[in-house]
A and B are shown apart, each in its own frame.
Chain A
Amino acid sequence: MDSLRNSIKRLNPLSASDSDFFESMPFWLPATALVLLFVYGAIGWNVIISFTGWSGLGQPDYTNFTLEMYRQMPSDPNFMASLRNTVALLVAFTGVSLVVGLGLALLVDRKIRFESTFRTIYLLPMALSFVVTAIFWSWMYASNGLIDTMLNGIGLGWLSQDWLGDPRFKLAAVIVALIWQFSGYCMIVYLAGLRSIPNDHYEAARIDGASTLKLYWRIIIPQLRSSTVGATVVLMVFALKAFDFIYVMFGTNPGRSADILAVTMYREAFSSSEWAYGAAIAVVLFALALTIIGPYAYTQYKRGAL
Chain B
Amino acid sequence: MATTTDDKSEQTDTETGLELHRVALYGALLALVGAYLSPLYSGLTTAFKTQEAYRNTSPLQPPIEGVTIDPWLTAGSELAFAMVNSFAMVIPAAVLSALFGSLTAYGLTKVDWRGQVFVLVLFLAAVFIPYQAVLVPLRQFWSMVGLSQVHPRGELVELTITHIAYGIPICTILFRSYYQTLDSELIEAARLDGASLARIYRKIVLPLSLPMFAVTLIYQFTQVWNDFLFALVLLSNRSNYVVTLELNALQGSMATNYSVQMAGAFIAALPTILVYILFGEQFAKGQTL
Q: Check A237 against B128 for contact (C-beta < 8 Å).
A: yes
Q: Does B208 sit at the interface, judged by CB under 8 A?
A: no
Point out the residues of chain A lying under 8 angstroms from B196, CB to CB. 23
Q: Check B107 against A25 for contact (C-beta < 8 Å).
A: yes
Interface string of A130-150 (1 = CB under 8 A from B): 111101110110101110011
**Complex Cα distance A136/B241, Å?**
21
Interface string of A79-122 (1 = CB under 8 A from B): 00000000000000000000000001001111110001011111
Q: Taking chain A's interface residues, is the majority helix, strand, or loop, or is none over half, making it mixed?
A: helix
Given contacts A39-B166, A128-B272, A243-B229, contact A6 B184 (CB under 8 A): yes
Q: Does B212 sit at the interface, judged by CB under 8 A?
A: no
Given contacts A1-B181, A132-B268, A145-B59, contact A32 B119 (CB under 8 A): yes
Q: Does A185 sit at the interface, judged by CB under 8 A?
A: yes
How many residues in B have their beta carbons less than 8 Å from beta carbons of A? 115
A241 → chain B, closest Cβ, in Å?
6
Tell me the chain A residues, 176-213 only, with Cβ under 8 Å from chain B.
Answer: 180, 184-185, 188-189, 191-192, 195-197, 199, 202-203, 206, 212
From B130, B222, B248, contact of A289 by CB (8 A): B130
Given contacts A11-B114, A35-B169, A127-B272, contact A139 B43 (CB under 8 A): yes
Q: Check A127 against B124 for contact (C-beta < 8 Å).
A: no
Query: Residues of A with Cβ closer than 8 Å to B?
Result: 1-4, 6-7, 10-11, 16-17, 20-21, 23-32, 34-43, 45-46, 49, 60, 104, 107-112, 116, 118-133, 135-137, 139-140, 142, 144-146, 149-150, 153, 180, 184-185, 188-189, 191-192, 195-197, 199, 202-203, 206, 212, 230, 233-234, 237, 240-241, 243-244, 247-248, 261-262, 265-266, 269-270, 275, 278-279, 281-283, 285-286, 289, 292-294, 296-297, 300-301, 306
Q: List 5 A-B contacts (CB under 8 A).
A: A38-B165, A135-B261, A139-B46, A233-B128, A293-B129
Query: Residues of B with Cβ closer than 8 Å to A?
Result: 1-12, 25-26, 28-29, 32-33, 35-43, 46, 55, 58-60, 100-101, 103-104, 106-114, 116-117, 119-126, 128-141, 162, 164-166, 168-169, 172, 176, 179-181, 184, 196-198, 201, 222, 225-229, 232-233, 244, 247-248, 251, 258, 261-262, 264-265, 268-269, 272-273, 275-277, 280, 283-284, 287-289
